[in-house]
Chain A
Amino acid sequence: MNKKAFGILAGVLGIITVVFIALGFMFNKPDNKKQEGLTELFDVSVDGLLAVVKYDKGKAGIYLSGANAEPVVQLPVEQTIMDISFSEDGHVIAYVVSDKELNASSGSSIHLFELRTATDQVVLSADSIITELAFDKKNPDKLIYLQADVFTNYSPITGARPHDFDVHGYDLTSGEQTRYTEMQKYSMQSLQVSATDESVYIQMNDDEDAKSADDLFASYQRIFKIPLHAPNEKEIISNPASEEDIYDFLVLPDRDEMIYQAVGGTSSSGTFEYELFSYNWESDETVQLTNLKEYAAKPVQGKDGKIYFLVDLKFAKRNPEYRIYKMDLDGKNIVEVLK
Chain B
Amino acid sequence: MKPAFERFVTGIVRQTDCNREEREDLYEELLSHLECSFIDYKNEGYSEEEAMRTAMTNFGTEQEVGNQLQEAMYPKRKGMMLGLAVASLLYAYSVYASQLFVMGDAHIIWLVAAVIVSAAILYVTVRPVTSLNRRLWMNGLLLVHLFIFFYGLLLATDLDNRLSVGLTIIACLILLLGILLVYRTTIYDYPAKDQLAGSGMKWLHFINITTGIFVVFVSLFFVWAMLWFTDEFSAMFLLTLLPISAWAISYAIQLRLMKQQKPVWAYAVVIFQMAIILSGLAYWIVVF
Contacts and interface: CB of A to CB of B under 8 A. Distances in A.
Given A16-B93, A27-B100, A317-B161, A153 B108 contact: no
B234 A27 contact: no
Nearest to A155: B229
A17 B230 contact: no
Contacts of B236: 156-157
Interface in B187-237: 226, 229-232, 234, 236
Contact of B112 (A17, A27, A33): A17
A8 to B, nearest CB: 12
Interface in A3-52: 3, 6, 9-10, 13, 16-17, 20-21, 23-25, 27-29, 33-34
Interface string B218-262: 000000001001111010100000000000000000000000000
The DSSP consensus for interface residues of chain B is helix
Nearest to B106: A24
A159 B232 contact: yes
Contacts, number: 68
Interface string B109-121: 0011001000100
B217 to A, nearest CB: 20
Contacts of A255: none
Contact of A28 (B89, B106, B119): B106
Contact of B123 (A6, A153, A156): A6
- Interface size grouping (class) on chain B: 20 to 34
Interface in B86-110: 89, 93, 96-97, 100-101, 103-108
B96 A20 contact: yes
Nearest to A319: B160
A1 interface: yes
A157 B239 CA distance: 12
A254 to B, nearest CB: 42
Contacts of A13: 89, 115, 119
Contact of A27 (B101, B230, B231): B101
26 contacts: A1-B126, A1-B127, A6-B126, A6-B127, A13-B119, A17-B111, A17-B112, A20-B100, A21-B108, A24-B100, A24-B108, A24-B111, A25-B108, A27-B100, A27-B104, A28-B100, A28-B104, A29-B104, A29-B105, A34-B103, A155-B229, A157-B229, A157-B234, A157-B236, A159-B230, A159-B232
Q: Which 4 A-B pairs have the closest CB atoms?
A: A24-B106, A29-B104, A28-B106, A159-B231
